[in-house]
């Protein structure tokens, strides 16, 4: 599971061009629908022996039923070993695909707005031949009417949530019906939680499962008035951690026992600025990091991170890096180098997309500027969920520059790097064909991959891999991959590298009606 690296398309003009790759093998597979849900499931699972499984949408528009194919592909030849067709109604949406070591698991949400019920379903498939072994209903909740209450606790919207609120309602799972799912670091367990907005206090129904879908514990969590929930996480023991923040920048990280309701809290103090886009990274079952962007009047002014130890109940470290003028100049000059980017940066809409901590304690934070726009809506930004936000628009997603900030183990900033880009795509596709993927596994280089379009019809013509030196932050190489098939790299599809070979899976052409698996010789 989670061998998926999120891949997408971005535009960048950089030096150090190297064209040294060749296509070793390419094989088409089916994906007959151009309508890839903006909040769709992970679509590729790589198995230990090298084989991989794809989940591809064959048929379906912005409403009505859809057909999907689950296929196992041979890791060397890319030949299809088995294929299963699944038809689902408009009220069902696949959430996640993973292999738990025994069965192929497919999590799915049924949002029945007529009956006002939301369900989380698990399908188990035989990894050898694709036979459906069982279907389980993991949880079911009644969804009561939304109650307006400005003082109640709230939930932070992700950028994907904002896209879904402004697209065709039947195309996505409504926010109140959404099962939020996160896996433990070792992928042995996952937490699912659904928010209830029907009372004066915000409540979340929370369940923890092992990766076979067995319920381990469940309970309710209250979100305090005046606080925004930024997510719920579990460690490898299955213990629940709740991350809440208020407008003054104070963050409460709460470890809670769902059965006894006993809890511990470590507070990250507030400041003059707002902390936003919070992400959590576990070092162990007791030690975790929280990263965030710092905003002043909704504009990015820096980043922050903290180390929390729940064994000693200590806030061991908190670091605030306020950007100086040289950082703003770096971005400004980068934007000017890309002729497709218009105007000065307003420093709004920066997402903290990745938050890495090395074994040596080095930190890397990666931000991307992401915007949703439509006629009559000059600025649509993630806020906290409100029923009034759900307005269908004919919108587009714009993904601009990537800002990378590196810190050493002593919390001193190593370097800052910026990749200028500009990519616009219909919002019904979400981030599936824009944004980027970062590979942080290499010991000396950090590698970014993206696809670019230089044609008027938006057809993808170039795939780039950028190598950034881990110690200096300098771009040491940019490799251009052949792309005769005009392959678009899909965010929830995958990339992996081994034995001087690079494999990517993505859609072909602007309509995405055919897909391909391509192996490059490096």
Give the model confidence (pLDDT) of 315-346 as tens digits.
999 999 999 999 999 999 999 998 888 889 99
Q: How far apart are CA 167 and CA 316, in angstroms?
A: 43
Cβ neighbourhood burial of 444 (10 Å; 0-12, 13-18, 19+): exposed
pLDDT digits (tens, 9 = 90+) for 168-204: 877 889 999 999 999 999 999 999 999 999 999 999 9
pLDDT on residue 157: 95
Q: DSSP readout, 117-174?
A: EEEEEEEEEETTT--EEEEEEEEEEE-PPP---TTS-EEBPPHHHHHHHTS-GGGS--
Beta-bridge partners for 191: 182, 208
Q: Please say if the pLDDT value at position 117 is more than 60.
A: yes
Determine which of 72-76, 137-141, 286-290 has the lowest per-residue pLDDT on average.
72-76
- Nearest residue to 258 (alpha-carbon basis) of 222, 311, 224, 310: 222
Strands across the sheet containing 66-73? 44-46, 52-59, 66-73, 80-88
Q: How far apart are CA 136 and CA 216, in angstroms?
A: 15
- 3-state SS, 423-468, equals EEEEHHHCCCCCCCEEECCCCCEEEEEEEECCCCCCCCCEEEEEEE
pLDDT on residue 167: 87
**Contact assessment for residue 493 and residue 43, using Cβ atoms and an 8 Å cutoff:** yes
Structure confidence at residue 76 as a pLDDT band (50, 70, 90)? confident
pLDDT digits (tens, 9 = 90+) for 31-61: 445 566 777 655 788 898 889 888 878 777 6
* Average pLDDT, integer, range 140-153: 93
Q: How far apart are CA 509 and CA 365, in angstroms?
A: 33
Structure confidence at residue 18 as a pLDDT band (50, 70, 90)? very low
- Nearest residue to 217 (alpha-carbon basis) of 232, 204, 206: 206
Beta-bridge partners for 502: 497, 520
**Contact assessment for residue 11 and residue 453, using Cβ atoms and an 8 Å cutoff:** yes
Beta-bridge partners for 384: 156
List Cα–Cα distances, 26 to 117, 176, 272, 484, in angstroms: 44, 42, 54, 11
Q: How far apart are CA 62 and CA 39, in angstroms?
A: 13
Residue keyed to tokens 């070993």: 81
Strand, coil or helix: 335: helix
**Contact assessment for residue 438 and residue 448, using Cβ atoms and an 8 Å cutoff:** yes
pLDDT on residue 427: 86
- Nearest residue to 183 (alpha-carbon basis) of 210, 220, 147, 215: 210
Strand, coil or helix: 207: strand
Q: How far apart are CA 459 and CA 449, in angstroms?
A: 17
Q: How far apart are CA 16 and CA 474, in angstroms?
A: 11
Say which residues have a Cβ less than 8 Å from residue 305's Cβ, sequence separation at least 6.
289, 290, 291, 292, 318, 319, 355, 363, 365, 407
Structure confidence at residue 491 as a pLDDT band (50, 70, 90)? very low
Cβ neighbourhood burial of 462 (10 Å; 0-12, 13-18, 19+): middle
Q: How far apart are CA 179 and CA 141, in angstroms?
A: 10
Strand, coil or helix: 329: helix
- Nearest residue to 306 (alpha-carbon basis) of 234, 237, 245: 245
Strand, coil or helix: 330: helix
pLDDT digits (tens, 9 = 90+) for 380-411: 888 999 988 888 898 899 989 999 999 999 99
Determine which of 86-90, 437-441, 461-465 has the lowest per-residue pLDDT on average.
461-465
Which helix (H) or strand (E) segment holds residue 109: the answer is: strand 103-112
pLDDT digits (tens, 9 = 90+) for 236-265: 999 999 999 999 999 999 999 999 999 999
Q: Please say if the pLDDT value at position 120 is more than 60.
A: yes
* Average pLDDT, integer, range 456-472: 77
List Cα–Cα distances, 124 to 41, 191, 209, in angstroms: 16, 18, 15
**Contact assessment for residue 370 and residue 399, using Cβ atoms and an 8 Å cutoff:** yes
Structure confidence at residue 485 as a pLDDT band (50, 70, 90)? low
Q: How far apart are CA 464 and CA 41, in angstroms?
A: 25
The pTM of this model reads 0.90
pLDDT on residue 273: 93
pLDDT on residue 388: 87
* Average pLDDT, integer, range 78-96: 91
pLDDT on residue 434: 79
Q: How far apart are CA 395 and CA 377, in angstroms?
A: 9
pLDDT on residue 14: 28
CB atoms within 10 A of CB 316: 12
Q: Please say if the pLDDT value at position 19 is more than 50.
A: no
**Contact assessment for residue 510 and residue 458, using Cβ atoms and an 8 Å cutoff:** yes
């Amino acid at each position: 599971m989670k061998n998926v690296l999120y891949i997408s398309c971005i535009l960048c003009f950089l030096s150090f061009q190297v064209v040294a790759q060749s296509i070793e093998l390419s094989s088409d597979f089916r994906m007959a629908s151009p309508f890839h849900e903006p909040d769709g499931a992970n679509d590729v699972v790589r198995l230990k022996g090298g084989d991989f499984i794809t989940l591809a949408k064959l048929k379906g528009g912005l409403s009505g039923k859809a057909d999907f194919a689950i296929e196992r592909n041979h890791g060397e030849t890319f030949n299809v070993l088995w294929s299963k067709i699944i038809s689902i109604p408009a009220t069902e949406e696949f959430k996640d695909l993973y292999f738990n070591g025994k069965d192929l698991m497919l999590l799915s949400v049924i949002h029945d707005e007529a009956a006002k019920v939301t369900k989380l379903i698990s399908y188990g498939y035989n990894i050898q031949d694709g036979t459906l072994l069982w279907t389980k209903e993991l949880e079911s909740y009644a969804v009561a009417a939304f109650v307006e209450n400005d003082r109640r606790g709230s939930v932070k919207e992700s950028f994907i949530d904002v896209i879904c609120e402004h697209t065709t309602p039947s195309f996505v799972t409504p926010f109140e019906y959404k099962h939020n799912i996160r896996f433990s670091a070792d992928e042995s367990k996952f937490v699912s939680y659904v928010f209830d907005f029907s009372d004066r206090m915000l409540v979340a129904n929370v369940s923890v499962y092992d990766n076979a879908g067995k319920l381990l514990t469940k309970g309710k969590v209250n979100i305090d008035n005046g606080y925004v929930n930024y997510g719920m996480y579990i460690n490898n023991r299955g213990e629940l951690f709740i991350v809440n923040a208020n407008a003054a920048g104070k963050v409460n990280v709460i470890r809670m026992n769902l059965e006894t309701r006993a809890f511990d809290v470590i507070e990250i103090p507030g400041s003059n600025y707002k902390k936003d886009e919070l992400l959590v990274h576990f070092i162990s079952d007791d030690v975790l990091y929280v990263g965030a962007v710092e905003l002043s009047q909704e504009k990015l002014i820096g980043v922050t991170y903290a180390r929390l130890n729940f064994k000693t109940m200590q806030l061991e470290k908190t670091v605030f890096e306020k950007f100086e003028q040289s950082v703003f100049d770096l971005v400004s000059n980068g934007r000017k180098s890309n002729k497709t980017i218009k105007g000065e940066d307003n420093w709004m809409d920066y997402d903290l997309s990745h938050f890495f901590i090395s074994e040596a304690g080095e930190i890397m934070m990666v931000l991307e500027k992401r915007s949703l726009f439509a006629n009559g809506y000059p600025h649509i930004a993630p806020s906290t969920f409100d029923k009034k936000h759900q307005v269908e628009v004919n919108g587009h997603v714009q993904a601009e520059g990537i800002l990378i900030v590196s810190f050493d183990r002593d919390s001193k900033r190593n370097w800052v790097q910026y990749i200028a880009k500009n990519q616009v795509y219909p919002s019904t596709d979400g981030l599936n064909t824009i944004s980027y993927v970062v590979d942080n596994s290499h010991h000396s280089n950090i590698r970014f991959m993206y696809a670019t379009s230089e044609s008027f019809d938006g057809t993808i013509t170039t795939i780039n891999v950028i190598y950034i030196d881990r110690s200096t932050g300098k771009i040491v190489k940019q490799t251009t991959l052949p792309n005769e098939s005009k392959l678009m790299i899909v965010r929830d599809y995958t990339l992996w590298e081994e034995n001087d070979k690079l494999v990517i899976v993505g859609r072909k052409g602007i309509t995405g009606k055919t897909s391909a698996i391509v192996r490059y010789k490096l």
